[in-house]
Amino acid sequence: MAAKKRPSTAAPATVNQPESSINTEKPKSGDSSTEPPIAPAKVYLIFKISLIFLIPYLYLIFYHYKIESELRRSILINAIVSLIGFFVTVTMIPVASKYVLRRNLFGYDINKKGTPQGSVKVPESLGIIVGAVFLVVAILFQYFNFTADSNWLVEYNAALSSICFMMLLGFVDDVLDVPWRVKLLLPSIAALPLLMAYAGHTTIIIPKPLVSYVGLEILDLGCIYKLYMWLLAIFCTNSINIHAGINGLEVGQTVVIAAAILIHNIMQIGASADPEYKLAHAFSIYLVQPMLATSLALLSYNWYPSSVFVGDTFTYFAGMTMAVAGILGHFSETLLIFFLPQVLNFLLSVPQLAGIVPCPRHRLPKFDPQTGLLTGTNDGTLVNLFLRQLGRMSEQSLCVVLLVFQALCCGFCFLLRWLLTGWYK
């Protein structure tokens, strides 16, 4: 979650307390009318960021690979509907901000404490708008692409059910401020629709160096494969949620990973001759393009200095969407490498989350209002690790460094796949 705190008296620090929370006081009459409107969206910045991804993405679709016209048409229709979703989200976020402020769902930015910005009420849980627009876009897309007897329709709707379920549980978390141990269980419930409807294969390809030892080239895991899917959904959802604490980081990492997923899917579609394999990766594109578009809209408000907080609603929604895309697109190994910073952050967090090491309520850097710089603490997060290793820096600079690291890890994944092609599998 973004750096924020409860406006009223904070609860005592315990292992079960989340890193952030929202105000739950009863609204006072007339309070919402006195709140100034949120800052306008940073659309030009988002446009520049989008070009970094769009140029190679469009090049792969239209020039580098010869993709079947019907499949390319479906991808482009999905992209157009997603673009409409971007503008709808940009328009709806300021409107929704007024309503959440009216219900006193707001927070104060801890990383600006001691400055005028630190006393501004920041609307909370705006990830609900992103999730709602995403679901509308994804449902409407069915009209253009899936027929009533489509083999993919059941799994597509099951995927949307899991995403919707996770979004609802995330909003409940934002309102009720549930303990960390409960947070870890929420994705396991939301993943059930996907697991129950999954009718794909449960086999894995044994790496070539291990075939002589195992004696098999393909191994059917059966129920163990579904257990793996379940654990992957839990990890992806929670890993986005705990790698947070500064403006733009939650949405930024989602945008970087989503862009990498889309490029990976296009590369696999262009390089494969198997129709089912292509459809699996196209299925992933149909989910990730709307998520990327709506997330970019949210980033235009959440980038430093943030005028809205995304809430657990967004982090759970984004994590579940990418997990579903990786599972049904059959590239879960690649997805985990895309999530390498999140894996490192989780490993650093385990001692505190498990209660082995004391866990404060907010595992955030220390902010110096005189210099505007952040200093790393001894808490087990990637944010603090980078500050301890690289020295003090501003919140915006730290976010850029972390997102560049995320992009480098995604690039490393592409390099690793290229180096291991033909030797590993």
Structural domain boundaries, residue 163: 46-336
In a domain, 32, yes or no: no
Residue 12 is predicted with a pLDDT of 40
Q: What pLDDT was estimated at residue 1?
A: 52
| pLDDT on residue 249 | 96
Q: Which two tokens stand for residue 379?
A: 């808490």
- Give CA–CA dist 130/383, Å, rounded: 25
pTM: 0.90
Mean pLDDT score of the chain: 87
Check residue 154 and give its pLDDT: 84
- Interval 146-151 mean pLDDT: 65
The CA distance from 302 to 250, in Å, is 9
Question: What are the tens digits of pLDDT across the range 11-34?
Answer: 443 333 334 444 434 444 444 445
User: What phi-psi label fits residue 399: left (phi over 0), alpha (psi between -120 and 50 degrees) or beta?
Assistant: alpha
Q: Once rounded to an integer, what is the mean pLDDT over residues 151-173?
A: 89
Using CA atoms, how far apart are residues 225 and 237, in angstroms rounded to an integer?
A: 19
Overall number of domains in the chain: 1
Confidence of residue 3 (pLDDT cuts 50, 70, 90): low
In a domain, 289, yes or no: yes
In a domain, 64, yes or no: yes
Tokens of 81: 């509907």
Q: Say if CB 3 and CB 245 are below 8 A apart.
A: yes
155 band by pLDDT with thresholds 50, 70 and 90: confident
Residue 181 has pLDDT above 80, yes or no: no
Total Cβ atoms within 10 A of residue 176: 11
**DSSP-assigned letters across all residues of 69-116:** HHHHHHHHHHHHHHHHHHHHHHHHHHHHHHHHHHTT-EEB-GGGTTSG
Q: What is the mean pLDDT of residues 292-315?
A: 95
93 inside domain:
yes
Tell me whether residue 325 is in a domain.
Answer: yes
Q: Is residue 391 part of a domain?
A: no
Q: Which phi and psi angles does 205 have, rounded to 5°?
A: -90, 125
Among residues 6, 19, 3, 10, which one has the least CA distance to residue 361? 19
Would you say residue 160 lies in a domain? yes
pLDDT at res. 20: 41
Query: Which among 49, 105, 110 has a CA at the least distance from the CA of 292?
Result: 49
CB 88 within 8 A of CB 272: no
Does 7 reside within a domain?
A: no
